[in-house]
Amino acid sequence: MNQMIRPKRQFSEVVDVMRPRRILEVGTWYGRSAITFLSLARDFGLDTSCTCVDTWLGSEEHWLNSYPQGEWSDEALRIIDGEPRFIEEFRRNVSVAGLSDRVSVLRAPSSVALKYLNTTDLRFDFIYIDGDHSFEGVRSDIEGALRVTEDENSVILGDDWSWPDVRRAALVSASRRSYLLCVSGDMWLILRRNDPRAMDLSLRNWRIYYGAGLWLATAKSLLHTPYRYGRSLYLRGRNRMTQ
């Protein structure tokens, strides 16, 4: 298997059910997810394109070399004369996959890129969010993404449901509009109400949150955060007392 293809079954299930035509990816980096979506779409006979949003400038972890080994090291940025050249790795990956003609690049922070796209005629039926993983970052990306969706059949997909901030942001955004939230493994998907494709996902073992169940899950997630924070402070104080 191509090492750029993400092997999660959820990717194939979502492409099969949603049949995307115009994808917007917020947070691209290596391009693995974009390559996976487009390769699957091609296998399904779909003429799908993808606009990739990223700065390709790296994160704080890269610049501070917090993880010296692997893709989060400062070496991964490929800095030459003070400028990261990592985008060249992304372009190479897309080219090797034979997808250069289906990929366009918007090199800017998501907050800027989404505002810019809202001023254009570009609209998307499938938006994948995998950028800033903070609560405010994810929520802002979802709000911006909703403004550039094509119509009521457009969907927003995200990864890393296991991250508390990501989960809270997805739940809050879906519950505010009484949308459907579908979850499988570490992936989540926001759909409009009464979208019949939710049933297709449920038959593939996606968990569906809606109505009272969605509000309850949102409240539980929001209440869990101060509990975790308070417990952390308590344990820290107790450790100091025992030292």
Non-local CB neighbours of 33 within 8 Å, separated by 6+ positions: 6, 11, 25, 128, 130, 159
Domain layout of the chain by residue ranges = 9-242
**pTM for this entry:** 0.86
Closest alpha carbon to 132 in 147, 142, 122: 142
CA distance 121 to 150: 10
Give me the CATH topology for the region 9-242. Answer: Rossmann fold (3.40.50)
pLDDT in tens for each of the 243 residues of the chain? 466 677 789 999 999 999 999 999 999 989 999 999 999 999 999 999 999 999 988 777 777 777 887 777 777 778 888 877 889 999 999 999 999 999 999 999 999 999 999 999 999 999 999 999 999 999 999 999 999 999 999 999 999 999 999 999 999 999 999 999 999 999 999 999 999 999 999 999 999 999 888 888 888 887 765 544 444 434 455 555 454
Structure tokens belonging to residue 222? 């929001």
